[in-house]
Structure 1
Amino acid sequence: MDFSNKVVIVTGAGSGIGQTVSREYALRGARVVVAERDEETGRRHTSALVDAGGSALFVKTDVRREADIISLVNETVNHFGTIDVLINNAGVSRFKPIYELTADEFDDVLFTNLRGTFLCAKEAAKVMRGNPSGGAIVNIGSTRALMSEPNSEAYAASKGGIAALTHALALSLGADRIRVNCISPGWIENGDYGSLRQIDHAQHPAGRVGKPDDIAKACLYLTDPENDFVTGAHLVVDGGMTRKMIYEP
């Protein structure tokens, strides 16, 4: 897939899934905007993209702040002229017993994951609708939107909201030729993949734990202009784990 000269914003791009996703777009010729709250990791990754021959811009962004998101979009347009693709990847988690989880902590997770996704989509769409070919948005959710473990209320609520927000946006923005889809990763190992146990891989129907590359490939598919019939979709990338029936012994 060729993204030559396409302008791609990836939030939370300084590490983990976002880092890999932004790198894969840069390798395919995209002009990448690294939107990251942590300035050190954001600048380091942007420099690595440029050193590898890519075109990249770092914009310090805290998606909890509407002003930061507006600034992100403005700086992108000022530097690259437009926005073709937005990957809403920035997010936080907080796993804490419900009896101890405060309202402020719950709000912070929703403000970052759900409200941040909405605001980024809203501001980017204002630019995308002026493009002859529109644009594409991918929201990164989680299989926690579909299933849970204890003490995950804030995270699950935010990711479930992202899945619902996605199909609402797809309908609202369709007339402006903007496609909106959601990817829900399962277990994606961002650390030392070699340290995983055989049982970790074996419990997945696909036979292995996921890698950030798996999510990057899904992003490329959903944002490729050739795939303009795909919108409002919720793509679960989890090695089949959410399809298993598990009974307690």
Structure 2
Amino acid sequence: MADNYLERRMDDLRNGRLQQSNKIQASVSQRKGYLSVNFPMRRVLVTGGANGIGLAVTRAFLKAGCKVAVMDIDREKGEKLAHDEGVRFYNVDLADKDALEKALDNLFSAWKDLDIVVSNAGISTFQPLTEGDPEIFDRIIDTNLRPAYLIARAWAIHRKQFPIPNTFGGRMICISSTRHIQSEEGTEGYSASKGGIASLTHSLMMSLSPYGITVNCISPGWIHTGDPEGLSEIDHLQHPSRRVGTPQDIARLCIFLSLPDNDFINGADIPVDGGMTRKMIYQ
């Protein structure tokens, strides 16, 4: 009955038998399904924020009205981002513990506190197990895994020393990978580092709980950061979602997890992979 009623009303409208309302309608400038978010002045740190997924995350928070600090080893792109888009840039090799802690001290001094941390930086060096260099394995762990721990530790120490209540609490979002639950040969260092991130997430959830900080993990699948023209139809259609992922897919989830009311999402590992880790494949 309801469907028929609506059909008749639309027919009346088309044929001039019903006048349109003169009420002002909210303008919609974005495409259907687009979520536009404006935060209060949140203070956001994004590691590896000058390239790829990190750059998309950086820009998403800037667009949402946040102050964003970026730590990245890429000086050229980081300085350009600072000049063009107003981020606070630290040229840091995150595997260098002393350099990372010095940058964090500077940031806490400048901003007094952080509201959101996206621990994203990582390297994906693959090497055959029989020919691999253990020092490269260590480098991957020191770049991909240890910085998340060091940042969380510094954040907790800062809040413990300066216990001014932050009514928002905080959000820490760690970027892992679906490779921590599925792998190819030669990915030991990368898989171990990302598995460590997933496990570290729920440990940090407990340790940062007294400070009101939630900790969640995002595990991207195939996220294409290059020219989309380089992808084939097979690349897209093998995914149940029928497309390869984009950095914006991860950035949107970071924004969602950072919404004030989403503090009940805590300790989660959220795959963003177009359904590939749930797809049964036999060859």
TM-score, length basis structure 1 = 0.94
User: Following the alignment from structure 1 to structure 2, what is the Cα–Cα distance between the partners of residues 90 and 98?
Assistant: 24
Amino acid at match of 1:205: P
Matched, 1:71 2:71: no
Higher mean C-alpha displacement, 221-230 vs 63-72: 63-72
User: Following the alignment from structure 1 to structure 2, what is the Cα–Cα distance between the partners of residues 186 and 165?
Assistant: 19
Give the aligned partner of residue 53 of structure 1. none
Amino acid at match of 1:173: L
Gaps (5+ residues) in structure 1? 51-55
TM-score, length basis structure 2 = 0.83
Matched, 1:7 2:43: yes
Gaps (5+ residues) in structure 2? 1-36
SS of aligned partner of 1:97 = coil
Give how far 1:4 is off: 2.8
Matched, 1:117 2:148: yes
Give how far 1:128 is off: 5.1
Amino acid at match of 1:41: K
C-alpha distance after superposition, 1:55-92 (max 9, x if no partner): x2111122112222222222222322321010000111
C-alpha distance after superposition, 1:28-80 (max 9, x if no partner): 11000011112111111222213xxxxx2111122112222222222222322
Give the aligned partner of residue 135 of structure 1. 170
User: Following the alignment from structure 2 to structure 1, what is the Cα–Cα distance between the partners of residues 76 and 151?
Assistant: 22
Q: Of 164, 179, 187, which aligns to 1:152?
A: 187
Q: Of 251, 256, 259, which aligns to 1:216?
A: 251
Give the aligned partner of residue 104 of structure 1. 135
Give the aligned partner of residue 89 of structure 2. 58
Q: Of 73, 85, 90, which aligns to 1:49?
A: 85
Change (3 A) 1:99 1:69: same
Identity %: 43
Amino acid at match of 1:20: A
Aligned length, in residue pairs: 243
Q: Report if aligned partners of 1:83, 1:128 keep a CA contact under 8 Å in 2.
A: no
Give the aligned partner of residue 161 of structure 1. 196
Q: Report if aligned partners of 1:19, 1:45 keep a CA contact under 8 Å in 2.
A: no
Give the aligned partner of residue 112 of structure 2. 81
C-alpha distance after superposition, 1:139-184 (max 9, x if no partner): 0000001100111111001000100000111012112211000000
Q: Report if aligned partners of 1:36, 1:60 keep a CA contact under 8 Å in 2.
A: yes
Give the aligned partner of residue 188 of structure 1. 223
Runs of 4+ in 1 over 4 A off after TM superposition: none
CA RMSD in angstroms comes to 1.3
Q: Report if aligned partners of 1:128, 1:178 keep a CA contact under 8 Å in 2.
A: no
Amino acid at match of 1:69: L
User: Following the alignment from structure 1 to structure 2, what is the Cα–Cα distance between the partners of residues 160 and 195?
Assistant: 29
User: Following the alignment from structure 1 to structure 2, what is the Cα–Cα distance between the partners of residues 218 and 159?
Assistant: 18
Amino acid at match of 2:89: F
Give how far 1:211 is off: 0.3
Give the aligned partner of residue 225 of structure 1. 260
